[in-house]
């Protein structure tokens, strides 16, 4: 098994993809809008992936946050609010905001579980900073670390109740970035003491099964390498100071914050201590290069993967989604 998650090119597997995935045996897959048409098609695609590996708990990921980051869209699926909606409610009624975030996440998870998706790349635990990049913006759960942690915990709980694992991201914190890491490498100049605010939500939720790094350079910790490629940050900050011992994914390796060829980016992420490299764009030459560049998954990473898989609880009943949505909307109306 190779420590990588791959994207897919279309609505179903091509013959080349099927043969390559059988040979390379990736940890899992991530889906985007290009892979999604309707419920029947999407369920058939995820069923095909599970059958390919003989694994009912295969990691099949998606970025379904709500708001502008939503791969599954109306009219086939519901629209969900962004994280900022729960931050605003927290100003008025903290307990109601936490409950609204939980029921919203459970309702969202039901949409995913019904079509065979097992992991959502949510919640963001990035503490928002005034003037930070709009790439985070209303996706954030707030500007105060313990508020972000409280709402993030509710999201993780709601997702799990809906049969889906969450992913805490972007460790050790994307909130101070002034530029979008999709387009260029952010450099954060805050001191080690100041960065305690950024890592606090991740420390509070350190027992999450899955986490994701951010492609951010923190000058206080490593002046040459971003978090994804920094052995010091992965070990000393994420594993030791935060205390996270779950399955650690890199953010997407195709983002312009990273330099070099994509297979080399993947190899550096694994060498730095990430458990799994994330490659989203389904370019066959890059995927083959990554498979050739990576070692087999390590024993430690395989143990973390097995713990995450064991936490996936398949659901058989989605009938209560309307009740969850009604409760969420009543709570959000308080703001």
Catalytically active residues are: 182, 251
Task: Count the helix, strand and coil residues of the chain and give each as a percent rounded to the nearest 5.
Answer: 45, 15, 40
CB 169 within 8 A of CB 198: no
CB 68 within 8 A of CB 106: no
Starting from the edge strand earliest in sequence, which strands make up the sheet with 2-7, in order? 119-120, 59-62, 26-31, 2-7, 276-279, 247-252, 210-213, 168-171
Q: What does the alpha-carbon distance between residue 168 and residue 188 come to, in Å, rounded to a whole number? A: 20
Strands 2-7 vs 26-31: parallel, antiparallel or unpaired: parallel
Q: What does the alpha-carbon distance between residue 309 and residue 84 come to, in Å, rounded to a whole number? A: 30
Q: Per-residue DSSP letters for 30-60?
A: EE-GGG-S-HHHHHHHHHHHHHHHT-TT-EE
3-state secondary structure of 263: helix
Instruction: Using the structure block, give the residue that is written with the tokens 């003037």.
Output: 131
Question: What do you get for the CA distance between the two ends of the chain, in Å?
Answer: 48
- Give per-residue burial for 228-241: e unless 16+ CB within 10 Å, then b: bbbeebbeebbeeb
Distances in whole angstroms, Cα of residue 180 to Cα of each of 57, 191, 206 = 33, 21, 25
Which residues, other chains included, contact 227 with Cβ-Cβ below 8 Å and sequence gap of 6+? 171, 172, 213, 214, 215, 216, 217, 218, 233, 234, 237, 238
Which of 200, 131, 117 is closest to 165 using CA atoms? Answer: 117
Q: What does the alpha-carbon distance between residue 154 and residue 105 come to, in Å, rounded to a whole number? A: 8
Strands 64-66 vs 69-70: parallel, antiparallel or unpaired: antiparallel
């Amino acid at each position: 098994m190779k420590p990588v998650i791959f994207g897919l090119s279309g609505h179903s597997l091509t013959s080349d993809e099927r043969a390559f995935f059988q040979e390379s045996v990736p940890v899992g897959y991530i889906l985007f809008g290009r892979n999604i048409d309707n419920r029947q098609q999407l369920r058939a695609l995820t069923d095909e992936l599970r059958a390919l590996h003989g694994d009912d708990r295969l990691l099949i990921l998606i970025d379904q946050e709500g708001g502008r980051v939503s791969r599954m869209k109306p009219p086939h699926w519901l629209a969900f609010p962004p994280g900022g909606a729960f931050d605003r409610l927290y100003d008025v009624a903290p307990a109601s905001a936490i409950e609204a975030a939980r029921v919203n996440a459970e309702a969202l998870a039901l949409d995913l579980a019904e079509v065979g998706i097992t992991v959502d790349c949510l919640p963001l635990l990035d503490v928002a900073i005034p003037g930070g990049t709009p790439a985070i913006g209303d996706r954030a759960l707030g500007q105060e670390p313990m508020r972000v942690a409280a709402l993030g915990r509710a999201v993780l709980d709601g997702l799990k109740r809906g049969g889906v694992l969450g992913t805490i991201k972007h460790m050790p914190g994307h909130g101070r970035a002034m530029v979008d890491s999709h387009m260029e490498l952010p450099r954060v100049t805050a001191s080690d003491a100041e960065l305690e605010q950024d890592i606090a939500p991740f420390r509070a939720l350190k027992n999450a099964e899955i986490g994701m790094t951010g492609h951010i350079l923190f000058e206080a910790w490593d002046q040459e390498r971003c978090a994804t490629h920094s052995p010091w940050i992965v070990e000393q900050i994420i594993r030791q100071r935060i205390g996270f011992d779950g399955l650690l994914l890199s953010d997407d390796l195709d983002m312009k914050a990273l330099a070099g060829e994509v297979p080399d980016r993947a190899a550096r992420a694994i060498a730095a201590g990430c458990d799994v490299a994330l490659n989203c764009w389904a370019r066959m030459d890059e995927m083959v290069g990554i498979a050739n560049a990576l070692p087999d998954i390590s024993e430690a990473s395989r143990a973390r993967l097995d713990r995450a898989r064991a936490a996936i609880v398949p659901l058989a009943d989605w009938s209560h989604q309307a009740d969850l949505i009604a409760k969420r909307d009543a709570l959000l109306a308080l703001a």
